[in-house]
Structure 1
Amino acid sequence: MQVEFRHKGCHLDDSLKELVSKRVDHLTRFLDEPKRVEVFFEENNTKAKEDRFLCEVTVVSHGYVVRAHSTGLELLQAFDRVEGKLRHQLERLKTKVLHRSHPHHRGAKVANEDLGEDLEVRIAKAKSFKVPTLDPEEAAFQMDLLSHSFYLFSNAKTGRAAVVYRREDGTVGLIDQEAD
């Protein structure tokens, strides 16, 4: 497995690359030979010392993309934090894929004892309503009137299903159904 390293504003020596490669290789034992692993380090110019270095690791394997990022006072500390997050995500993915592939496990409640989490999705509430035909601007206005974080509607311009949603930066986003 080849690990691709990228960096911005910092220097990566060969010993760090070798250590990170070994630890990433150990992490990816949860997957069948990943297609690509990218490790990105960046030095941030922030006032907070604990956020000086950013590390982001992306693992691409058989249709799944797993990404984790974290910051730290040193490059290795940032990677240590990412490693924990990545391990958690890869364990969950492997458990989910494993149980999905075995017919006798389908429909049964799957619990990860180490993490104490249920991996089965439960729908807590179902709701039906008429989908209005609106322009995206009108739908955004309706969303604000209802104080919701998203609003489902039929786009009057395209005639297809669409969703407007409130983004983290306060702006409104639009997701529109693709034409067949």
Structure 2
Amino acid sequence: MDIQLGAKGFELRENLETYTTEKIEHLQKYLPGIRTARVELVKEKTRASADQNMVQVTLNVQGATLRVEERAATFQAAVDAATLALRKQLERFKGKVYRAEQRGRRKMKEAGLVMEREERSPIMRRKSFSMKPVTPEEAIEEMEGLDHAFYFFMNLETGTYSVVYRRKAGGYGLIEPANP
């Protein structure tokens, strides 16, 4: 995780920097996908001494942004409050992601798209057949006769393997290698 610390209104001491960094790094325990953390420590002049020290933390987590702002009498107390609030946000976010994954799996299973672990393979079906060289026009006729969206064939004109396909906009397309 990349942690960026900034201080405004005071000089950041090493012990506070270490304390803050350790607290923010500890958030990885709750959700390992934290990419960046931006921590801003601000000393403000306010009437209430309990609100003079402000901590703003912004986390970039798996494409989402989580942000918290806390004030306290000391920076350590503000950092503690901010990390506690972020921990709660991370737990909620983690639950949302988990529930979304489960909903997706359940829908796929209902549709019969999820295979059992031992069946998983990137190749779903394998076919092999002999090919005689044909022209692209003959390949289109064969594709239409089979009612397929594409047809793989040995091109009689070029001597290479090619594919003809039905285009969504109408007509047909031909895919062939650039370097036969």
Q: Normalising to structure 2: TM-score of the pair?
A: 0.55
Residue equivalent to 1:69: 69
Residue equivalent to 1:16: 16
Q: Deviations over 1:24-68 (max 9, x none)?
A: 111133323322101001011100010011101110022100000
Paired residues for 1:38-49 under 5 Å? 38-49=38-49
User: Which SS does the other structure have where 1:86 is aligned?
Assistant: helix
CA RMSD of aligned residues (A): 1.9
Closer/same/farther in 2, CA of residues 75 and 106 from structure 1, 3 Å limit:
farther
User: Which SS does the other structure have where 1:19 is aligned?
Assistant: helix
Closer/same/farther in 2, CA of residues 57 and 106 from structure 1, 3 Å limit:
farther
Does the CA-based 8 Å contact 1:99-1:106 persist in structure 2? no
The structure whose Rg is larger is 2
Paired residues for 1:1-180 under 5 Å? 1-103=1-103
Identical aligned pairs, as a percentage?
26
Q: Normalising to structure 1: TM-score of the pair?
A: 0.55
Name the CA distance, whole Å, in 2 between partners of 1:94 and 1:11. Answer: 35
Query: Which structure dedicates a bigger proportion of its chain to helix?
Result: 2
Q: Which stretches in structure 2 are left out of the alignment for 5+ residues?
A: 108-180
User: Which SS does the other structure have where 2:24 is aligned?
Assistant: helix
Does the CA-based 8 Å contact 1:99-1:105 persist in structure 2? no
Does the CA-based 8 Å contact 1:100-1:106 persist in structure 2? no
Closer/same/farther in 2, CA of residues 103 and 80 from structure 1, 3 Å limit:
same
Name the CA distance, whole Å, in 1 between partners of 2:82 and 2:44. Answer: 16
Equivalenced residue count is 107
Q: Which stretches in structure 1 are left out of the alignment for 5+ residues?
A: 108-180
